[in-house]
Amino acid sequence: MTRTGDWKLIASFGDSFDASGHYRLGPELALFHLSEDSGEETDLASPHPEHARELQRQQRTWIRAMGAEIPDSNPHHDPTWALRETRAKPGRN
């Protein structure tokens, strides 16, 4: 989360769930203008991409300044491995 003035950015670095509870693949940005939307109900990242990119740049600069790594996708991830042991148990199709 990064905030500058009334603008607030929430960045997910991996998969997430949307407001409806649907699973979404990949990183995502959500941008809110708090003086107009204190309940953070209207995501403005699409209509205001310049604000989203600037806050994301500020967030990444801060993360690096703290000596932390910025999360990235796992280059060794094999999606065919997911639940392989469970599928291999006797009685499973």
Using one digit for the tens of pLDDT, what is the confidence trace for 11-32?
A: 988 887 777 888 888 888 999 9
The whole-model pTM stands at 0.71
Q: Is residue 92 part of a domain?
A: no
Query: Who has greater pLDDT, 23 or 54?
Result: 54
Instruction: pLDDT band for 3, please (50, 70, 90 cuts).
Output: very high
Kindly tell me the burial class for residue 31, based on how many C-beta atoms sit within 10 Å of its own C-beta (0-12, 13-18, 19 or more).
Answer: buried
Query: Who has greater pLDDT, 54 or 71?
Result: 54
What mean pLDDT do residues 50-59 have? Answer: 95
Q: Is residue 87 part of a domain?
A: no
Q: Is residue 44 part of a domain?
A: yes
Size of the chain, expressed as the number of residues it contains: 93
Query: In CATH, what number is assigned to the domain containing residue 36?
Result: 3.30.1120.10
